[in-house]
Amino acid sequence: MWVREKDYEEICAYLGVTPNPDLYRKLVRYVADRCNVEREQRGFSAYLSDLRLSRSRLVPLDLLTRFIFPDHPLRRILNAVIALHECNDLGYRQMAAAGPGWFPILTLVREGGRFLLSLLITIPWSAWHYSVYKLEKAWQSKDTLRGKRVLITGVNGGLGKELLFHCLRQGAHVIGTLRTEASRQELERCLPVSASVTLLLADLARADALVSALERAGILPDALDVAILCAGTKYDETSVLDMGKLRETFQVNLFSAVEFAGWFLADTQRIAPTVPTQGINSSPADRFRPRKRLVLVSSMGRWHGMPWTGGYNASKAGLSIWSESLEQELAGTDGSPLEVLIVEPGIFESRMPVRGLGRLLSISSDRVARHILQALAKGKRIIRPPLWFALLTWAICLGGRSLRCRFFRKAVRGRGDDVGRCETSLSDHQCR
Ligand SMILES: NC(=O)c1ccc[n+]([C@@H]2O[C@H](COP(=O)([O-])OP(=O)(O)OC[C@H]3O[C@@H](n4cnc5c(N)ncnc54)[C@H](OP(=O)(O)O)[C@@H]3O)[C@@H](O)[C@H]2O)c1
């Protein structure tokens, strides 16, 4: 279990204390040391660990972890937040203010009432979630990542970090890549010492950086079962005519995936651009080798243009179409050694710039990570979480080019003046 900053803020709101970034850092370190990912929760307790925290959910979770699951990591997290804030000036004052004060009897009645109310909420809440847990268990695929070696790019934040923690919880060994030494050190601080992770540095804006980093670490293509290429870059307030940024965006979002896939497949020698039928002569033993999985994180933005994002949508369109082409080439060979899962998410919360309307439509990166791992377990080939966002995007796309132009220009409203001026000069040509 790990504590996202948002979870910490929800816990603070629930406890009536003000969030403090220094205390949050201490909490993350404590959770990494004490709430070890290897001390795996099972059954309903594991299901509860997976729930995103919110003030209303904390009422039943507090009660359940107090009386039924006292060893649950959430109990330790709640106690740690209380202890950390009690040792802080402001936190201590805020907690003391919630104490008995001058009217102990009134306080006793108030606390008793609160407890009864919590109980009234907790009983139906637990019954509902227990049924959901049982249903999920019945439908869930048994194919988890236990014992698998999973490569994830961009593990220091956003979706990549969520995927990292989910894969660790499922028992995978993760080879994670990040761009800078500083982000490696920061991530290491919130990982338990025993976490099964290898962290490599690779700046994907440089040609062949990912493959070189893996080779330097002595990792062979056959040593990887699953590769999730999640890292991506998006420039804000940048015209598609900016060649430098466009090149970089394509290198990170598309070309690094092409370079990696070539390396990942190299040992199989089943796919060669000039000899598409090479795999037909492969030995029967080869044909039954376990498949490798390649997950490519594209975007729903690949279905339409978007102004001022430095060609991000174009690079994702390239990635989606390229991966479909790869899949088609592989399907032509006998017993394809690689399964491709294309992920085209809608907007989700991360550090990636999102403007105007986009913010209102975003879902959590945790939800997208879960969708990806479920799709992987079920052997799906494409997912677009959440579905309603995909339907909305397609509806706008069907409205025609002029509607798309008007809609997406409005959707990114709120940029700086420089962009506004530049936009005016270009818009005359674009929106006719
Ligand atoms: N957020 C959305 O709404 C959304 C929607 C659809 C698709 N996606 C896709 O989802 C994926 C994850 O994005 P996110 O939203 O989680 O964004 P994020 O929080 O900004 O994470 C992006 C990751 O990519 C890494 N990265 C960027 N440039 C890199 C480079 N040159 N070399 C190595 N690593 C680099 C970042 O590392 P640094 O921290 O060092 O920059 C970071 O770890 C991306 O492929 C994105 O295109 C996002």
The residue nearest atom 28 of ligand 1, judged by CA position, is 233
Residues 201 and 255 in one domain: yes
Atom nearest to 206 CA in ligand 1: 31
Asked whether 364 lines ligand 1 (CB < 6 A), one says no
Mutate-to-test residue for ligand 1 from 233, 234, 315, 389, highest number of ligand atoms within 8 A of CB: 233
Proportion of the chain in helix, strand, coil states, percent, rounded to 5: 55, 10, 35
pLDDT for 98 equals 65
The tokens for 264 are 């990942």
Going across the sheet that includes 226-229, the strands are 197-201, 173-178, 149-153, 226-229, 292-297, 338-343, 382-383
Residues 322 and 366 in one domain: yes
* Full domain range(s) for residue 259: 149-430
Asked whether 347 lines ligand 1 (CB < 6 A), one says yes
| Listed residues 107, 139, 171: the one ending a domain | 139
Asked whether 252 lines ligand 1 (CB < 6 A), one says yes
Q: Stretch 290-306: mean pLDDT, rounded? A: 92
Residue 144 covered by a domain: no
Q: Which residues pair with 296 in a beta bridge?
A: 229, 342
More confident: 129 or 290:
129
* pLDDT at residue 282 is higher than 50: no
Residues 126-157 pLDDT 10s = 999 999 999 888 876 665 898 999 999 999 99
Residues 95 and 122 in one domain: yes
- CA–chain centroid gap for 383, Å, is 14
Lowest-pLDDT range, 134-148, 198-212, 249-263?
134-148
Residues 414 and 294 in one domain: yes
Mutate-to-test residue for ligand 1 from 187, 230, 234, highest number of ligand atoms within 8 A of CB: 230
pLDDT for 161 equals 94
| Listed residues 102, 117, 139: the one ending a domain | 139
* pLDDT at residue 112 is higher than 80: yes
Atom nearest to 362 CA in ligand 1: 3
The tokens for 9 are 């803020």
| Strand 197-201, strand 173-178: pairing | parallel
Asked whether 306 lines ligand 1 (CB < 6 A), one says no
The residue nearest atom 7 of ligand 1, judged by CA position, is 299
Residues 316-356 pLDDT 10s = 999 999 999 998 888 865 667 789 999 999 999 888 766 66
Asked whether 154 lines ligand 1 (CB < 6 A), one says yes
pLDDT for 427 equals 44
Distance 217 CA to ligand 1 centre (A): 23
Distance 134 CA to ligand 1 centre (A): 34
pLDDT band per the 50, 70, 90 thresholds, residue 179:
very high
Asked whether 183 lines ligand 1 (CB < 6 A), one says yes
Q: For residue 70, which phi and psi values (nearest 5 degrees)? A: -65, -20
pLDDT for 283 equals 44
User: Residue 298 burial (CB < 10 Å; 0-12/13-18/19+)?
Assistant: buried
Q: How many domains does the chain have?
A: 2
Q: Is 289 helix (H, G, I), strand (E, B) or coil?
A: coil
pLDDT band per the 50, 70, 90 thresholds, residue 416:
very low
Residues 126 and 268 in one domain: no
Residues 168 and 283 in one domain: yes
Of 371, 274, 379, 383, whose CA–CA distance to 336 is shortest?
379
Mutate-to-test residue for ligand 1 from 6, 179, 315, 359, highest number of ligand atoms within 8 A of CB: 179
Distance 309 CA to ligand 1 centre (A): 14
pLDDT for 139 equals 76
Report how far apart, in Å, the C-alpha atoms of 354 and of each of 87, 287, 413 are: 37, 45, 11
pLDDT for 102 equals 63
Residue 162 covered by a domain: yes
Mutate-to-test residue for ligand 1 from 153, 159, 212, highest number of ligand atoms within 8 A of CB: 159
Residues 246 and 373 in one domain: yes
| Listed residues 115, 139, 163: the one ending a domain | 139
Distance 183 CA to ligand 1 centre (A): 13
Q: Stretch 231-256: mean pLDDT, rounded? A: 96
* pLDDT at residue 291 is higher than 90: no
Atom nearest to 154 CA in ligand 1: 43
pLDDT for 279 equals 39
Report how far apart, in Å, the C-alpha atoms of 178 and of each of 116, 175, 270, 280, 353 are: 48, 10, 30, 38, 19
Share of the chain above pLDDT 90, in %: 56
Distance 344 CA to ligand 1 centre (A): 14
pLDDT band per the 50, 70, 90 thresholds, residue 422:
very low
Average pLDDT, the chain: 85
Residues 192 and 254 in one domain: yes
Residues 160 and 225 in one domain: yes
- Cα Rg for the chain, rounded, in angstroms? 25
Atom nearest to 351 CA in ligand 1: 19
- Contact present, 300 and 346 (Cβ < 8 Å): yes
Residues 296 and 423 in one domain: yes
pLDDT for 164 equals 95
The tokens for 103 are 């009217």
pLDDT for 293 equals 94
Residues 112 and 216 in one domain: no
- Contact present, 215 and 60 (Cβ < 8 Å): no
Distance 158 CA to ligand 1 centre (A): 7
pLDDT band per the 50, 70, 90 thresholds, residue 268:
low
Residue 381 covered by a domain: yes
* pLDDT at residue 288 is higher than 90: no
Residues 66-85 pLDDT 10s = 999 988 889 989 999 999 99
Q: Stretch 84-93: mean pLDDT, rounded? A: 90
CATH at residue 189:
3.40.50.720
Residues 181 and 101 in one domain: no
Most confident of 76-85, 95-104, 203-212, 375-384: 203-212
